[in-house]
C-alpha cells in the first residue's frame, strides 16, 4: 500500500555546518599529534588538498584534491592561467573556504610557485605551493 497524505515538500530541513575539529597532523614526523580546530584545521586542510592529486586516492571523493599535474610542463603562459583556476577550484570545495585571492603565479625554469590568500569562515591566511614543472 502507498502512504497517503504526506509529501516531500511538507518537510522542513535546515543545513547545519559540520564541526571542523579533526586530528592534528605532524607533517614532519608523519604522525597524529592531538586534535585541532578553527583556523588551524582549515590551514591543515588546505595543505592536504594541495598535496593530494584529484582522482588518485580511493579514500577521497572526486571533489578532493587538485589537478596541477595536468598542466605542469606546458607553455608557461598557459600554466600561469590554469594554476590559478585549478587551485581555486580545489580549495573552494571545502565549505569553510570562502575565497582564494591575490593569486601570484611564477614560473622560473623548471619550478612553479603560487602564492595566494585563503579567506575562510575562521579567518584569512597566506599560503604558497611549489611544484617542479
Compute the distance between CA of residue 68 and CA of residue 73 in angstroms, rounded to an integer.
10
Confidence label for 4 from pLDDT (cuts 50, 70 and 90):
confident
Confidence label for 133 from pLDDT (cuts 50, 70 and 90):
low
Q: What is the pTM of this model?
A: 0.78
Is residue 94 within 8 A of residue 49, CB to CB? The reply is yes
What fold is seen in the domain 21-132?
Nuclear Transport Factor 2; Chain: A, (3.10.450)
Is residue 13's pLDDT more than 80? no
Average pLDDT over residues 8-26: 77
Domain locations in the chain?
21-132
The residues near 1 (Cβ < 8 Å, ≥ 6 apart) are none
Q: What is the pLDDT of residue 3?
A: 66
Compute the distance between CA of residue 83 and CA of residue 23 in angstroms, rounded to an integer.
29
Confidence label for 115 from pLDDT (cuts 50, 70 and 90):
very high
Compute the distance between CA of residue 4 and CA of residue 7 in angstroms, rounded to an integer.
9
Is residue 10 within 8 A of residue 3, CB to CB? The reply is no
| Helix 76-91 with 38-51: angle, nearest 10 deg | 140
Amino acid at each position: 500500500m502507498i502512504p497517503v497524505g504526506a509529501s516531500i515538500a511538507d518537510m522542513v530541513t535546515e543545513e547545519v555546518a559540520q564541526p571542523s575539529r579533526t586530528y592534528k597532523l605532524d607533517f614532519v614526523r608523519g604522525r597524529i599529534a592531538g586534535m585541532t580546530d578553527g583556523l588551524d584545521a582549515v590551514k591543515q586542510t588546505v595543505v592536504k588538498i594541495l598535496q593530494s592529486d584529484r582522482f588518485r586516492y580511493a579514500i577521497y571523493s572526486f571533489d578532493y584534491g587538485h589537478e596541477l599535474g595536468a598542466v605542469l610542463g606546458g607553455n608557461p603562459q598557459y600554466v600561469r592561467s590554469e594554476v590559478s583556476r585549478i587551485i581555486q577550484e580545489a580549495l573552494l570545495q571545502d565549505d569553510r573556504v570562502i575565497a582564494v585571492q591575490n593569486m601570484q603565479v611564477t614560473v622560473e625554469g623548471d619550478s612553479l610557485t603560487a602564492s595566494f590568500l585563503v579567506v575562510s569562515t575562521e579567518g584569512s591566511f597566506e599560503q604558497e605551493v611549489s611544484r617542479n614543472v
